[in-house]
Structure 1
Amino acid sequence: MTPRSRPARSHRPVRLAGLAVLGLLAPLALAACGAGDTGAGETSGDGAGAAPLTFQVAGDPEETAVYEAIATAYNDTEPATTVDIVAVPSKGDHLALLQTSFAAGDAPEVFLLNYREYAPFVRRGALTPVQGLLERRDVDLVDYYEPPVDAFTLDGELQCMPQNVSSLVVYANTALFEEAGLDLPTDGWEVEDFVEAAGTLADLDGDVDGVYVEPSVIRVAPFAWSDGAEITDDPEEPTRLTLDDEDTRDVVDLLASLQSDGLMPTEEELAAKDADTRFMDGELAMTLSSRKSVPLFREAPTLDFDVLPLPVLGEAATILHSDAYCLSSQAEDASAAADFIAFAVGPQGQSIAALGGRTVPSLISVAESGAFLNDTVEPAHSEVFLEAIDGMRATPVLAGWPQIEDLAEEYLTRIWYDATDPAEVDELLAELDERTRPLFEED
């Protein structure tokens, strides 16, 4: 295939949400110590005269509307307690607001965190482990999928209660697939077929890009795992990134070639219109994301879409995407907060989230029900998410991991869009290794 011509490259801004996490949480230990000990105990528990509970979430309005619905349902069920939603637009804003509120001694009682970001909060004493509290509310962890439960277990305790077990999938514009004469490979496909399809889709029209894969370690990881490679030197006790190892480096080169071969949008195009918007406008045929994109994509009036499994290089593999309800160590009434969390991860709360499209329920019975597996709404093949669980892995849970991810994105962005020869890629990966090694010791 002949690559399309591309304008000159330039750097786009790098997200810094994770880089700030450890610094942002520096005041939390002192602030938490002054908030009263609710570690394994509970206060009143009857909700009588209790102050409203604050629940903080991040995301697009389409995403946060799901949590508004859960809070409303809980408020109707438990009128003695009012759950107030604090919705912030981005992960960076979410983490920054948590830092500010913890430092002020006014943290939200409950908030969502991704498993890749909660370890710093544990190390700073900002969380109350939820396992015992939830067990006393008849929440049985055997009813939930293991990967997210394991990911949120640290120091032998379940720190936060996972709400979802999403995986990375390929979102496909079904109208463009049909126009190109391509079948949807809902039963699986090889990377070679994926790249060929991206080329065919990109050749449809000069205004359509075949695919978008963001330059991040969480996009490299599942392809590396599929090929029998690793992103760290030891999955259990990692001490360094291994993106420069031969096998993993091959995966980095493969994904970067999607850009250099003209199959992905340029930095300039993404700066003018992000990948999600391009996908919704029919200018991008495929994009990789987790379940969180569904509510947004459903709002696009002219978009017909479905989900496909990740293409494989060897064995089927994907990466866990999961958020959990965390309980603040500053909560004055841990019992009331635990009541809300138990509701949110129970059958009613999980069904509301599933119907809203936002989550792949962590509660097995709801994930296997019509609330989630409903082929009358897009995506029609939601079972793709459940079928991926057998090949699902998580990234390391380390206090320094958010910073590691952000530094990896900085360097992978340069590799995706600027590196012109293998020697330059070697230098960038070596520098990334040097800068991230100390962060593995933060734990």
Structure 2
Amino acid sequence: MAAGALLLATVLAGCSADSDNPPPDRQGTAKKPVKLTFMAYGAAEEVEALKGTVAQFNQDNPKVKVSFTAVDSEQAVVKALRSETPPDIYLLSRQDLGTVVSEKLNQPLDELLAARDIAFGDDYKRDALMAFSEEGRLQCMPYAVSPMVIYFNTNLIDWNAMREADLPTPRSHAFWTFDQFAAAAEFAASRPGAKGVHIDPTLEGIAPFIYSGGGELFDDPKQPTSLTLSEEKDREALAEVLDVLRNNQLTPTPKQLEKSDALERFTTGKLGMIAGYRNLVPELRKTPSLQFDVMPMPAIDNERTIGDVKGLCISATPGSTSAAADFVVHAMAPEAVAEVAKAGYLVPASNEVAESDAFLQRDQLPAHAEVFNRSVRDIVTPPALEIWSLLEEALAPHLHQLFYARVLEDLQAATEEIDEISRTVLTPPAEETESPSGTADPSSSSDPTPTSSSSP
């Protein structure tokens, strides 16, 4: 934490200090404007709002013409960046930041934004600024940050009824313990035809609980070589969580989930709780009869969660660096972000917008949207792994066994096996090497674990 605070201080100092203006680059005219491309992804409503952001910028800046391209995923953005015609400005998932920086597909923004008098301080969520800081520089401007939270059905989980039954309940929507979470799952499961909770049997699903119990998911926060689920803190947290999540009286079974997945069960009133990000809100609002609210991830020892963070970046060689920076400043302005936030999918990195009704939307569910803002400070950012999806794929059957095996005899052995498998993905065997005689070294692996260009 101290190292992170020091890095943030360095970045903020660089952003607020006087810095040389970037060298002059191509300037357009009204008759021949500079042409730039902006690439982003998101739900249809977000895309429409972003189109409005682009249109307003073009209207206000007749010497620049920004064209907008929507793609279907964050992976498509990285693929485009590696092409011969990369976008000049793009929306990036933090998970891909390591790839983008290492392959020099972007340029840092701190000096560009400082030259445009952009003040950071308390205006933006510090955790989001940290997430997009690498090599002592602000690589991209945080745009949205959404912590994982717990969604709960307020018809199945009634705090007042639980208190009357002398069950442990939270005092507010700001904090609750794992024991209170477990009691809520049991209360929901006591309703006819309902189960209490579903957590995906994935690294993403278990990560908040591991961190909350004082453990670490990986052996190194930057360049991990292994998971650490077999370490004592991790195992203790897993044991406590699995005591609830392996109870098929409280959680849907795999067969039940095949017939009706967790989201469908939740929206139809058959499941008390699911974990998710802010982008679930518009989907849940489509069911008018559904009454739902949000809570932070439950605390085992500490308040911890993970988050989905997105930022605005500029490519390494845009058509015009100054015009691209001007667009980023325009897109992150509160009035522009507010229009996108109204779609309901994102938690703005701008504190001004996050605390406004454009985001809180007090006339709609969830009633306690401020939970998202409070939970941002609890985000632990896992390493930015380009091969995250490959790692999840390799571990899927083993994590499934943790959750659903009829008998789990030895958690230590099970987690050691998972850690070992993670090492084959994170540190795969070397490719065949040439021996001094020029022939292939027979001791080298003939079928090394492949690497993937996909990201989570």
Q: TM-score, normalised by structure 2?
A: 0.76
Change (3 A) 1:161 1:273: farther
Aligned partner of 2:229 in structure 1 is: 243
Aligned partner of 1:300 in structure 2 is: 287
| Corresponding residue to 2:91 among 105, 112, 125 | 112
Aligned partner of 1:323 in structure 2 is: 310
Aligned partner of 1:428 in structure 2 is: 417
Change (3 A) 1:270 1:47: farther
Aligned partner of 2:375 in structure 1 is: 388
| Corresponding residue to 2:211 among 207, 214, 225 | 225
| Corresponding residue to 1:210 among 196, 205, 210 | 196
Change (3 A) 1:186 1:104: closer
Equivalent positions of 1:103-252 (< 5 A) are: 103-142=82-121, 143-178=123-158, 181-182=161-162, 185-206=172-193, 208-235=194-221, 238-252=224-238
Greater CA deviation, 217-226 or 272-281?
272-281
Equivalent positions of 1:350-389 (< 5 A) are: 350-389=337-376
Change (3 A) 1:234 1:369: same
SS of alignment partner, residue 113 of structure 1: strand
Q: CA deviation at 1:435?
A: 1.9
Change (3 A) 1:157 1:179: closer
Task: Show CA shifts across 1:384-418 (max 9, x none).
Answer: 12222443322234555565455455642343234
2:402–2:408 Cα contact (<8 Å) kept: no
Task: Show CA shifts across 1:284-340 (max 9, x none).
Answer: 321111222223223333322211111111222222331111222243233333222
Kindly provide the amino acid, as one letter, of the partner of residue 431 in structure 1: E
Quote the Cα distance in structure 1 between the aligned partners of 2:273 and 2:183. Answer: 12
Q: Between Structure 1 and Structure 2, how many residues are aligned?
A: 398
Change (3 A) 1:103 1:374: closer
2:29–2:62 Cα contact (<8 Å) kept: no
Q: CA deviation at 1:212?
A: 2.0
SS of alignment partner, residue 86 of structure 2: coil
Task: Show CA shifts across 1:25-79 (max 9, x none).
Answer: xxxxxxxxxxxxxxx6563355743465433333443454443443344445445
Kindly provide the amino acid, as one letter, of the partner of residue 327 in structure 1: I
Task: Show CA shifts across 1:147-182 (max 9, x none).
Answer: 111111111211111112322211112233249935
Kindly provide the amino acid, as one letter, of the partner of residue 181 in structure 2: F
Aligned partner of 2:38 in structure 1 is: 55
Task: Show CA shifts across 1:236-294 (max 9, x none).
Answer: 66543211112212333444444431233344444554433433333332111122222
Aligned partner of 1:95 in structure 2 is: 75
Greater CA deviation, 167-176 or 259-268?
259-268
Say if 2:54 is the partner of 1:71: yes
2:77–2:90 Cα contact (<8 Å) kept: no
2:304–2:380 Cα contact (<8 Å) kept: yes
SS of alignment partner, residue 214 of structure 2: coil
Quote the Cα distance in structure 2 between the aligned partners of 1:417 and 1:334. Answer: 52
Quote the Cα distance in structure 2 between the aligned partners of 1:195 and 1:344. Answer: 42
1:229–1:248 Cα contact (<8 Å) kept: yes
SS of alignment partner, residue 177 of structure 1: coil
Greater CA deviation, 65-74 or 326-335?
65-74
Change (3 A) 1:86 1:298: farther
Quote the Cα distance in structure 2 between the aligned partners of 1:347 and 1:144. Answer: 11
Task: Show CA shifts across 1:318-369 (max 9, x none).
Answer: 2233111122224323333322221222211222233222222212222233
Change (3 A) 1:73 1:289: farther
Greater CA deviation, 159-168 or 404-413?
404-413
SS of alignment partner, residue 164 of structure 1: strand
Aligned partner of 1:28 in structure 2 is: none
Aligned partner of 1:11 in structure 2 is: none
Kindly provide the amino acid, as one letter, of the partner of residue 260 in structure 1: R
Greater relative contact order (CA < 8 Å, ≥ 6 in sequence): 1
Q: Which aligned segments of 4 or more residues in structure 1 are displaced greater than 6 angstroms?
A: none
Identical counterparts, % of pairs: 31
Task: Show CA shifts across 1:92-139 (max 9, x none).
Answer: xx414642x344412222222221222112111212222222222222
2:39–2:77 Cα contact (<8 Å) kept: no
SS of alignment partner, residue 152 of structure 2: strand
SS of alignment partner, residue 301 of structure 2: coil
Quote the Cα distance in structure 2 between the aligned partners of 1:411 and 1:45. Answer: 56
1:411–1:432 Cα contact (<8 Å) kept: no
1:220–1:251 Cα contact (<8 Å) kept: no
2:314–2:324 Cα contact (<8 Å) kept: yes
2:28–2:64 Cα contact (<8 Å) kept: no
User: Highest CA radius of gyration, 1 or 2?
Assistant: 2
Change (3 A) 1:329 1:267: farther
